[in-house]
Structure 1
Amino acid sequence: MAKGYWVSVYPAISDPERLTDYIELAGPAVQAGGGRLLSSSGRVVAHEAGIAERVVLIEFDSFEQAVAAYESETYQKALVALPDGFERDFRIVEGID
């Protein structure tokens, strides 16, 4: 079964301190959904149209598990805490089986 991944890129973060509430809620929600944080706030080298900003990569045992975790009530509560003024490009991607 192919793994699932959450890929989040933040093209604009005007005030990183304001992400605290979201992170405190999202972390436990991701773990409860079976997600494993692979990358967050590490170094980025961008090519072509890429943006060298924060990239978060989370792995799940399956694509379906990744979708279910996003749709969970717990994660939806975390999304409410995502501050206004932040740009986020979020995708759920199916890995290669």
Structure 2
Amino acid sequence: MPAAYLIVEMNITDPTRYQQYMAEAPAAVKAAGGEYLVRGGRHEALEGDWQPHRVAVLRFPSYEQAKAFYDGEAYTRIRALRHGATDYFNMVLVEGVAAPV
């Protein structure tokens, strides 16, 4: 079963409020079997016109586990903490490729 990835782009406009979200989100990600691969950091557009302010990438063991995390009670509550802290917060869930046999 291939891993799944949550790819997020955001523009944080209220860092103090966003800190409340970040104080709780990592524990919920870990409890759901996920891990952060990218969380901010240096980036640059190499092709196209995509210019995100901040990027995060999370990996989960499966698409279903990532979806269960997103829809789960814990993350639903935690998501509410970031309301009003970002200009935009875009997230996509994508299934990875199956490991070669």
> TM-score of the superposition, structure 1-length normalised?
0.90
Letter in 2 for 1:92: L
Counterpart position of 2:93: 92
Q: Which residue of 1 aligns with 2:37?
A: 38
Matched, 1:81 2:51: no
Larger radius of gyration: 2
The structure-2 alpha-carbon separation of the partners of 1:93 and 1:61, relative to structure 1 and needing over 3 Å to count, comes to same
Give the residue type in structure 2 aligned to 1:34: G
CA contact 1:44–1:53 (8 Å) conserved in 2: no
Structure 1 segments unaligned to the other structure (5+ residues): none
| Distance of 2:14 and 2:80 partners within structure 1 | 17
Which amino acid counterpart does residue 91 of structure 1 have in structure 2?
V
1:85 deviates by 5.2
TM-score by length of 2: 0.87
Do the aligned residues in 2 keep the contact of 1:25 with 1:77 (CA within 8 Å)? no
* Alignment match, 1:19: 18
Aligned residues: 96
RMSD: 1.3
Percent of aligned positions that are identical? 32
Q: Deviations over 1:43-71 (max 9, x none)?
A: 11113121142101000111111111111
